[in-house]
Amino acid sequence: MNSSDGGAADAGDAPRTTPDTARPHSGPRATYPEHSETARGRRRWFVALSVLVVVAGVALAVIGYSKFSSADVTGEATGYEILDDSTVAVQFTVERSDPSRPAACVVRGRSRDGGETGRREILIPADAAERIGVRTEITTSRPPVIGEVFGCTLDVPAYLKPSDQ
């Protein structure tokens, strides 16, 4: 009996599987292998690059935090007074982590439209106190409406330093 007349097939009648017939020569399985070394290699590269990006991001965050988080010197306006149409007096406090170092602060006057109309750099000499009060006058090009501290630094420009230093 054979399989064509409804009988059981002989073991000898079964089609033989050869290496050529085990995998198709066309279609997606032939084009895209199921598990290849290239897929594992791409995965490893992806994981390695992901770890590298995370490490670089953490390093940049640490550097940025240490550079910008704690100011060595700060200036804060405590008041201002309009003296006339071309002068504003600004009173401010300067706080330094190391008062033995001189600092420089920029104060400015602003007009009604918000534009800067006058600016002055002030040398804050070395002192024993961490926090000191300063008052200065700024000449402006237009009538001022406010005086404020723009910023302070420990990097004092050479033209502000006394000649004996």
| Residue 71's pLDDT band (cuts 50, 70, 90) | confident
Within a domain: 5: no
Same domain, 83 and 53: no
Total domains, the chain: 2
61 shares its domain with 79 = no
Give me the domain span that covers residue 57. 14-68
Q: Indicate whether 131 and 80 sit together in one domain.
A: yes
φ and ψ of 90, to 5 deg: -120, 130
Is 30 within the bounds of a domain? yes
Higher-scoring residue by pLDDT: 29, 92: 92
Q: Which amino acid is at 35?
A: H
Query: What average pLDDT does this structure show over 32-53?
Result: 79
Distances (CA, A) of 85 to 8, 92, 148: 114, 21, 17
Q: Are residues 106 and 127 in the same domain?
A: yes
